[in-house]
Amino acid sequence: MWEQLRENLQILLIALCLALFIRTFVAEPRYIPSDSMLPTLQVGDRLVVEKISYRFRAPHPGDIVVFDPPQKLQIQGYAKDQAFIKRVIGTPGHVVKVQNGKVYVDDSPLQEDYIAEPPEYQWGPALVPEDQVLVMGDNRNNSNDSHVWGFLPQENIIGRAFFRFWPLSRISCT
């Protein structure tokens, strides 16, 4: 009996260590708490965030990233570990501006069939610095994003939204 209990405890310990390793270094589930990414992501959606790809490559425009808030947001009262989710719009060297309801990257308007509605504000132009990205919510007029608080240091990125697993009716790769 003691031998079987010891085996079960070993298996449980190994499973726990594997789960912690996977969650820390490979992937983790996340919950969408706000409507800043509507219509792409809705409140209550649950995602898998993969953490491996950005160890080998920089974020690309269009990627949906989960990140820890930059210093400016922490000063405003957001917790250091309160994750945000937004879409990468500009990467280092891009000049981004918002003008007349359109987002421009290097003077070319983005084709954004994923946004809730055109932005009702003007912003930029601004050059995205090295090792930072510009991120925006798909719900442009209701998103606390780079047009409000500035550029996001790439070191704050936790990972890339990879797969929506809840609700079942909306299962998809993001």
> Using one digit for the tens of pLDDT, what is the confidence trace for 40-62?
999 999 999 999 999 999 999 99
Instruction: Decide if pLDDT at 85 tops 90.
Output: yes
- Average pLDDT of the segment spanning 55-75: 94
What radius of gyration do the chain's Cα atoms show? 19
- Average pLDDT of the segment spanning 154-166: 93
| Rounded alpha-carbon distances, angstroms, from residue 22 to 40, 68, 103, 111, 143 | 26, 19, 37, 36, 31
Task: Show the domain range for 127.
Answer: 28-173
Q: Assess if residue 106 is contained within a domain.
A: yes
Check: CB of residue 68 under 8 Å from CB of residue 81.
yes
| CB-based contacts of 41, cutoff 8 Å, min separation 6 | 32, 47, 64, 85, 138, 161, 164, 174
Instruction: Decide if pLDDT at 153 tops 90.
Output: yes
Q: Assess if residue 11 is contained within a domain.
A: no
Q: Assess if residue 103 is contained within a domain.
A: yes
Q: Which residue has the higher pLDDT, 111 or 8?
A: 111
Q: Assess if residue 109 is contained within a domain.
A: yes
Counting the structural domains of the chain, the total is 1
Instruction: Decide if pLDDT at 26 tops 80.
Output: no
pLDDT value for 11? 81
User: What span, in angstroms and rounded, lies between the C-alpha atoms of 39 and 43?
Assistant: 10
pLDDT value for 117? 95
Q: Is residue 125 reached through a cis peptide bond, with omega within 30 degrees of 0 on the bond before it?
A: yes
pLDDT value for 116? 92
Active-site pick, 36, 51, 143, 146:
36
pLDDT value for 161? 94
Active-site pick, 51, 72, 86, 146:
86
Q: Assess if residue 141 is contained within a domain.
A: yes
Q: Assess if residue 14 is contained within a domain.
A: no
- Average pLDDT of the segment spanning 27-43: 91
DSSP letters spanning 12-70? HHHHHHHHHHHHHHTEEEEE--SSTTTTTS-TT-EEEEE-SGGGTS---TT-EEEEPPP
Highest-confidence range of 7-21, 75-89, 91-105, by mean pLDDT? 91-105
pLDDT value for 42? 92
- For the question of residue 36 being annotated catalytic, the response is yes
Check: CB of residue 162 under 8 Å from CB of residue 49.
yes
CA 42 from chain centre, in angstroms, equals: 14
CA 46 from chain centre, in angstroms, equals: 13
Instruction: Decide if pLDDT at 10 tops 80.
Output: yes
User: What span, in angstroms and rounded, lies between the C-alpha atoms of 20 and 148?
Assistant: 35
Q: Which amino acid is at 48?
A: V
pLDDT value for 140? 96
Burial track 116-134 (b if 16+ CB lie within 10 A, e otherwise): beebeeebbebebeeebbb
Say what percent of the chain tops pLDDT 90: 67
pLDDT value for 3? 85
Q: Assess if residue 137 is contained within a domain.
A: yes
- For the question of residue 108 being annotated catalytic, the response is no
Instruction: Decide if pLDDT at 12 tops 90.
Output: no
Q: Assess if residue 19 is contained within a domain.
A: no
Q: What is the CATH number of the domain that holds 100?
A: 2.10.109.10
